[in-house]
């Protein structure tokens, strides 16, 4: 009986040992009333045609009356949230799926202090997958229509994970089911939001293909900011941060450290941070602690090792390991990399994917660390001007992208061709923030 399954799944109707529940029984009637009340129907407890029509509407698989099972918290305790895509749908090209999911996250990023970084690993906060029927999480899908997708609330393990039923026809338009719309709804759950009774809300349980351009109702914007209010614009207090916000396009802007993390670039200056998504123009900014609460200092150097999905953030003689978007454990000493005790400060660091080496720059010299063997290469330190002809200055920050090392030297950036060993261009540091 479809109505019985619906109420068990979404309104906590208890299952009887025999599997039989009388439609006229008090428990069944009260759950029908709960459902009618939620959807703004006449709460008679009777399965009239209007009630059955709502029950047959395609919808989200998260219950309307309680936290989804395994949700271990109501929100993430950070505002850099990582995601990764596992199995893809057969209905759309991978690049289209990537774009639609990225724009679905952007719906929430624009409305809040949250930022989303895509990873290519199993360590991400939100794991996205297209699956069918029984897929290992105790909440099997039911074939075409019915339940379209579901997501777990924030937490460890399956927390944040978002699953789409690949028996549906996923599309970019009004036919089938619009992946952008459904994903934005599910990511609301992955961030800790519950279902709304307001039909205009993105968090309304049943599917609506036609929504406003921004998707979010004012209620959704208010709810996400209430949930993450701890992280909303904390830089409004204290004099350092408004000053930095105003000065991001100053011609003499310099950075202390620059690194990629996942598909975003992080720019550190004093205790402040800008995050720029590689394919987007919007930039998130604020105190470092707003994004990584453990880091209560400035960052002098930073680098990213993609095959480990790990970033290393250095302050004076210690460093933090950042995996996913968490600083893991306590900071460790630079001696971990094999530096002598005399090295107490790093100016810049960069990982070269092609060679598996991380280069550390200290005043006029640089060191080379073998990430595969985890030892310092023999014969270092060497002079920077010998190893990098044309770069004759103290390096503030460095980042590696597509065969080029970008050396940040004061307010300028040297584009350095690492293969042919020469400078191929110079640009302003502030141009990296869209100035």
Say whether 168 counts as a known binding-site residue: yes
Say whether 422 counts as a known binding-site residue: no
Q: Is 196 helix (H, G, I), strand (E, B) or coil?
A: coil
Say whether 159 counts as a known binding-site residue: yes
Say whether 137 counts as a known binding-site residue: yes
Q: How far apart are CA 5 and CA 28, in angstroms?
A: 11
Q: How far apart are CA 104 and CA 172, in angstroms?
A: 12
Say whether 153 counts as a known binding-site residue: no
Say whether 256 counts as a known binding-site residue: yes
Tokens of 337: 């990399």
DSSP per residue, 386-430: HHSTT--S---EEEEETTEEEEEETTEEEEEETTTTEEEEEEEGG
Say whether 167 counts as a known binding-site residue: no
60 CA to centre of own chain: 21
What stretches of 235-307 adopt beta strand conformation (E)? 257-261, 264-269, 272-277, 283-287, 301-305
Say whether 34 counts as a known binding-site residue: no
What stretches of 2-65 adopt beta strand conformation (E)? 59-60
| Residues 239/249, Cβ–Cβ less than 8 Å | no
- Indicate which residue of 102, 129, 186, 285 is catalytic: 186
Say whether 129 counts as a known binding-site residue: no
User: Quick one: CA torsion of 99, 104, 105, 108, rounded to 10 degrees?
Assistant: 150
Tokens of 169: 């026809």
What stretches of 64-186 adopt beta strand conformation (E)? 80-85, 115-118, 126-131, 147-151, 162-165, 170-171, 177-178
Say whether 315 counts as a known binding-site residue: no
Question: Count of alpha carbons within 13 Å of 173, Cβ hemisphere only?
Answer: 1
Say whether 166 counts as a known binding-site residue: yes
Q: How far apart are CA 278 and CA 349, in angstroms?
A: 20
Say whether 165 counts as a known binding-site residue: yes
Say whether 189 counts as a known binding-site residue: yes
Say whether 302 counts as a known binding-site residue: yes
Gyration radius (Cα) of the chain, Å: 26
Q: How far apart are CA 296 and CA 313, in angstroms?
A: 12
Q: How far apart are CA 357 and CA 305, in angstroms?
A: 9
Q: Which of 266, 108, 262 is nearest to 189 (CA)?
A: 108
Count Cβ atoms within 10 A of the Cβ of residue 353 and give its class: 0-12 exposed, 13-18 middle, 19 or more buried.
middle
219 catalytic? Reply is no
How many CB atoms sit inside 10 A of residue 327's CB? 18
| Residues 187/104, Cβ–Cβ less than 8 Å | yes
Say whether 336 counts as a known binding-site residue: no
| Residues 276/288, Cβ–Cβ less than 8 Å | no
Binding residue positions for Zn(2+): 60, 135, 137, 150, 163, 185, 189, 195, 203
Catalytic residue positions? 186
Output the known binding site for Ca(2+): 91, 125, 142-143, 159, 161, 165-166, 168, 256, 300, 302, 349
Give binding residues as ranges.
Answer: 60, 91, 125, 135, 137, 142-143, 150, 159, 161, 163, 165-166, 168, 185, 189, 195, 203, 256, 300, 302, 349
């Amino acid at each position: 009986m479809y109505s019985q399954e619906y109420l068990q799944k979404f309104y906590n109707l208890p299952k009887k040992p025999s599997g039989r529940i009388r439609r006229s029984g008090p428990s069944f009637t009260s759950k029908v009333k709960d459902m009618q009340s939620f959807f703004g129907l006449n709460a008679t407890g009777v399965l009239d045609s209007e009630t059955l029509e709502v029950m047959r509407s395609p919808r989200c698989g998260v219950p309307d009356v309680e936290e989804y099972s395994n949700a271990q918290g109501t929100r993430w305790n950070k505002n850099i949230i990582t995601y990764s895509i596992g199995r893809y749908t057969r209905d759309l090209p991978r690049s289209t799926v990537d774009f639609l999911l990225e724009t679905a996250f952007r719906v929430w990023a624009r409305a809040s202090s949250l930022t989303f970084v895509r990873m290519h690993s199993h360590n991400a906060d939100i794991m996205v997958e297209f699956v069918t029927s029984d897929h290992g999480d105790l909440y099997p899908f039911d074939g075409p229509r019915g339940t379209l997708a579901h997501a777990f609330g924030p937490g460890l393990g399956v927390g944040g994970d978002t699953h789409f039923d690949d028996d549906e026809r996923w599309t970019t338009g009004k036919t089938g089911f619009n992946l952008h719309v459904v994903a934005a709804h599910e990511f609301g759950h992955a961030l800790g939001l519950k279902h709304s009774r307001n039909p205009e809300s993105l968090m309304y349980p049943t599917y609506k293909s036609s929504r406003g351009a921004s998707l979010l109702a004012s209620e959704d914007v208010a709810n996400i900011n209430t949930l993450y209010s701890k992280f909303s614009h904390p830089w409004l207090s204290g004099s350092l941060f408004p000053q930095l916000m105003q000065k991001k396009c100053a011609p003499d802007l310099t950075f202390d450290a620059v690194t990629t993390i996942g598909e975003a670039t992080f720019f550190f200056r004093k205790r402040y941070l800008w995050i720029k998504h590689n394919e987007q123009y919007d930039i998130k900014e604020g105190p470092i602690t707003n994004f990584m609460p453990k880091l209560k200092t400035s960052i002098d150097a930073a680098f990213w090792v993609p095959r480990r999905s790990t970033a290393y953030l250095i302050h004076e003689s210690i460093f933090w390991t950042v995996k996913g978007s968490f600083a893991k454990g306590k900071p460790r000493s630079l001696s971990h990399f094999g530096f002598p005790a005399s090295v107490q400060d790093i100016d810049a660091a960069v990982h070269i994917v092609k060679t598996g080496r991380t280069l550390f720059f200290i005043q006029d010299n640089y060191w080379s660390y073998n990430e595969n063997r985890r030892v310092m290469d023999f014969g270092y330190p060497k002079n920077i001007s010998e190893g990098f002809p044309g770069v004759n200055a103290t390096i503030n920050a460095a980042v590696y992208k597509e065969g080029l090392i970008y050396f940040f030297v004061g307010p300028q950036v040297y584009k350095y061709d690492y293969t042919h060993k020469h400078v191929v261009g110079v640009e302003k540091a502030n141009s990296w923030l869209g100035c």
